[in-house]
A = this chain, B = another copy of it.
Amino acid sequence: MSFAVSGVNCAAATPYNVDLTIDFGLFTDHCRQLLAEGCHGIALLGTTGEANSLSDEERRAMLEAALKVGIAPQQLIPGTGLNAAAETAELTRHALANGVTTVVMLPPSYYKGVTDEGLFAAYARTIEAVGDNRLRVVLYHIPQVSGIPLSRVLVARLIAAFPDVIVGIKDSAGDLSNMQAIAAAHPGFAVLAGADPLLLPLLKSGGAGCITATSNLIAASLRAIYDNLDDESVTGPAQERINAWRNLSNSYVQIPTIKAMIGLKSGNRGWRRVRPPLLALDEAQFAGLAGKYEALP
């Protein structure tokens, strides 16, 4: 099965300077490290990347920074979905102008209780506003954060209406059966798990890969699973490692915890910083985390 987007993609975290401006140098170092560890792609500017706390200008600057250090446009999958369709289209056009053709697109998420018909219209309007037939869109289903589930009926309708554009979905809701149902219904459509432990079972049932947070830390283990799907001597220990790291990343609020763990791994405490409304782990939490971190497989 060939997919427009597949493999192990990291929902890259965004490091900040002391004044909470973006540390571009540390970010691009991190991206190159992720590719060296086995990531197929960098899904920058997602939920984990705190993109929703960045200005549009900062988002464009991050994509440009990654390109500037020589990361191939084909390895970058930026998030471009904002509440205002005009801004989603503008960010997406900026990516395309830089040769980056595949984006992860959140639905507009402020207004709640909207219909499939309304969400279809929102995506259609944005795709038409972008007006570029190179565009490839990965839908983004993360209802526990966005408040806006993307139903299977809506996904099917979008694929039918824009078969060359709507190429995949990042499903971060954690329900494997939903991912499997989408994969079964739409061969060649890329279902990407948003939770690291689900990469293995999803790949075994027609999925294309993952876009995950823990890949900021253990990309090599995810890649080992992707490359050795039928070799239990590889996937067994890799899955065990993934589960342990993922579980630890959920011991406190996930994004600050992931960033604290990147700090522990890299030795750079600056990684602990987050932008409000998120807060960095406090010293007691960090000490607790650091203790358990030492014991990880």
Q: Which residues of A contact B (CB under 8 A)?
A: 20, 47, 52-58, 83-87, 90, 107-115, 117-119, 121-122, 124-125, 144-148, 253, 255, 275-279
Q: Is the CB of B276 within 8 A of A122?
A: yes
Q: Which of chain B's residues have a CB closer than 8 A to the CB of A84?
A: 52-56, 58
Give A193 Cβ to nearest chain B Cβ, in Å.
21
| In the bound complex, CA of A85 to CA of B111 (Å) | 20
Q: Which of chain B's residues have a CB closer than 8 A to the CB of A145?
A: 110-112
Q: Is the CB of B119 within 8 A of A277?
A: yes
Q: Which of chain B's residues have a CB closer than 8 A to the CB of A56?
A: 56, 84, 87
Q: Which of chain B's residues have a CB closer than 8 A to the CB of A90?
A: 55
**8 Å CB contact of A277 from B54, B107, B144, B253:** B107
Q: List 5 A-B contacts (CB under 8 A).
A: A55-B86, A56-B87, A58-B84, A114-B279, A125-B276
Q: Is the CB of A52 within 8 A of B276?
A: no
Q: Is the CB of B85 within 8 A of A119?
A: no
Q: Which of chain B's residues have a CB closer than 8 A to the CB of A87?
A: 55-56
**8 Å CB contact of A53 from B108, B124, B146:** B108
Give A129 Cβ to nearest chain B Cβ, in Å.
10
Q: Which of chain B's residues have a CB closer than 8 A to the CB of A109?
A: 110
Q: Is the CB of A108 within 8 A of B277?
A: yes
Q: Is the CB of B52 within 8 A of A118?
A: no
Closest Cβ neighbor of A124 among chain B residues? B276
| In the bound complex, CA of A255 to CA of B278 (Å) | 31
Q: Which of chain B's residues have a CB closer than 8 A to the CB of A124?
A: 276
| In the bound complex, CA of A113 to CA of B250 (Å) | 14
Q: Which of chain B's residues have a CB closer than 8 A to the CB of A52?
A: 83-84, 108, 110-111
| In the bound complex, CA of A6 to CA of B22 (Å) | 40
| In the bound complex, CA of A63 to CA of B285 (Å) | 45
**8 Å CB contact of A108 from B111, B114, B276:** B276
- Rank and list the top 10 A-B pairs by shortest CB-CB distance, nearest first: A52-B110, A121-B276, A122-B276, A118-B277, A114-B277, A55-B86, A122-B277, A52-B83, A118-B279, A55-B84
Closest Cβ neighbor of A253 among chain B residues? B113
Give A161 Cβ to nearest chain B Cβ, in Å.
14
**8 Å CB contact of A117 from B119, B125, B279:** B279
Q: Which of chain B's residues have a CB closer than 8 A to the CB of A85?
A: 53, 275-276
Q: Which of chain B's residues have a CB closer than 8 A to the CB of A278?
A: 111, 114, 118
| In the bound complex, CA of A41 to CA of B201 (Å) | 57
| In the bound complex, CA of A56 to CA of B87 (Å) | 8
Q: Which of chain B's residues have a CB closer than 8 A to the CB of A277?
A: 107-108, 111, 114-115, 118-119, 121-122, 148
**8 Å CB contact of A83 from B53, B107, B147:** B53
| In the bound complex, CA of A146 to CA of B83 (Å) | 12
Give A252 Cβ to nearest chain B Cβ, in Å.
11
Q: Is the CB of B276 within 8 A of A118?
A: yes
